[in-house]
Amino acid sequence: MSLDALTTLRAEAEANLRAVDDLDSLTEWERSVFGPKGSLTLFLRSLGAAPAEERPALGRAANEVKNALTVEFETRKTALERVALASRLTEDAVDMTLPGRAPVVGVDHPISQTIRELSDIFSLLGFQTVFGPEVETGRYNFDLLNIPSDHPARDVWDTMIVDTPNSEIVLRTHTSPMQARVMEQTQPPVRVVVPGRTYRFEQQDASHEWAFHQLEGLAVDQHITMTDLKGTLREMARQLFGADRRIRFRCDFFPFVEPGVDFSIDCMICNGSGCRVCKQTGWLEMGGAGMVHPSVLEGVGYDSEKYTGFAFGLGIERIIIQRYGVNDIRAFAGNDLRFLKQFATVNV
């Protein structure tokens, strides 16, 4: 118990304080000096045992040391708290200059894009776009289209039958049932196109799907002829594939048209000279068409002496396949984004 001991105590405490470099070790230092068993506490407590004549001076000196160490402790504490705050602010900082993450914006599926494009083209030609049910009755899918019950198209192998007691509910095998549905509800003049999904009980391969899309066209009025059909399809082909396109009709049979044709456009890749896309034929097949059969007109109550009409049905996937050189129709339903992104009109 001496002034020397007090001087040593202070020197040690100050040396230790200089070594303190974070708030945890500062708390530890505080305990080691001011705590119940701290060096200064023990010194002050031992003052009672000092000789009476030395006691006042020792007491005063010990108090000075206590005040000095307290001030040094507070100063150090303030400095360390400032450092701790600064480093926390740096760690938690949000970098406002980082570019944001662009949200993934979806784009139309190529089939939807093509349907919209066709619908726009036909609307400029005076055709309204309408939609019809994918689950149909045999009456609309077959009967009213002049397809009698012994026709091979009614065979179970082509048609997906919805399980009903009389089996007369089917998934439509084409968009043609909408011909009768539209005519039943309106009087001529009729000009509609009907895009939509169709179903067939069919083995899938590179060009056949069991679910695919068609676009039906129907125009009924007085004096409509094959020339109108040809002009309409040629205009559609030009709008879709380029100003020089030609079209070709070949005889074909569909029970609901007479005469019936299949129609092709000349290949836009090779301009009709033959290439891989058109399989060296110079022509790309688009679908079926013809003049609406009088029995179909009569079936919906139209006077077939007064009115004539044309109808056509395009395969939408096949159009896209030919337009872009897609090598497998199954890619459309696969929904693989690597495939679909190629048709994106904006960057995704």
Q: Does 237 bind ligand FA5 (CB under 6 A)?
A: no
Catalytic residue among 172, 181, 200, 213: 200
Of residues 39 and 141, the one with the C-beta less far from ligand FA5: 141
Q: Between the CA of residue 93 and those of 84, 86, 87, 322, what are the distances in Å? A: 14, 10, 10, 54
Q: Which amino acid is at 277?
A: V
| Interatomic CA distance for residues 18 and 5, integer angstroms | 20
Whole-number Å distance between alpha carbons of 22 and 13: 16
DSSP 98-159: SPPPPPPPP---HHHHHHHHHHHHHHHTTPEE----SEEEHHHHTGGGT--TTSGGGSTTT-
Interface segment toward ligand FA5; rule CB under 6 A; list 27-35, 115-123, 236-244, 286-294: 286-294
**257 catalytically annotated:** yes
Among 55, 66, 109, 208, binds ligand FA5 (CB under 6 A): 208
Q: Based on the shown chain and the rule CB under 6 A, indicate whether residue 200 belongs to the binding site for ligand FA5.
A: yes
> Is residue 312 a contact residue for ligand FA5 (CB under 6 A)?
yes
DSSP structure string for 241-275: H-TT--EEEEEE--TTEEEEEEEEEE-TTTTTS--
Residue 199 in contact with ligand FA5, rule: CB under 6 A: no
154 is catalytic: no
- How many residues bind ligand FA5, per CB under 6 A? 23
Active site residue 331: no
Q: Is 88 a catalytic residue?
A: no
Q: Which of 141, 302, 317, 321 forms a contact with ligand FA5 (CB under 6 A)? A: 317
CB 163 within 8 A of CB 186: no
Site for ligand FA5 in 131-190 (CB under 6 A): 174, 176
Distances (CA, A) of 176 to 276, 310, 326: 31, 12, 26
Say whether 311 is catalytic: yes
Tell me whether residue 62 or residue 286 sits nearer to ligand FA5 (CB atom): 286
Minimum separation from the CB atom of position 268 to ligand FA5 (A): 17
Q: How many angstroms separate the CA atoms of 153 and 173, rounded?
A: 9
Catalytic residue among 172, 174, 181, 245: 174
Site membership for ligand FA5, residue 257 (CB under 6 A): yes
What secondary structure letter does DSSP report for 311?
E
Residue type, 309: G
- Residue indicated by tokens 């009109």: 345
Contact 315, 288 (CB under 8 A): no
Which residue out of 311, 322, 326, 331 is catalytically annotated?
Answer: 311
- Is residue 276 annotated as part of the catalytic site, yes or no? no
Judged by CB under 6 A, which stretch of 25-33, 49-57, 229-237, 254-262 contacts ligand FA5? Answer: 254-262
Any idea which residues carry the catalytic annotation?
Answer: 157, 174, 200, 214, 257, 311
Q: Which residues of the chain form contacts with ligand FA5 (CB under 6 A)?
A: 174, 176, 200, 202, 208-209, 212, 214, 254, 257, 260, 285, 287-290, 311-313, 315, 317-318, 329
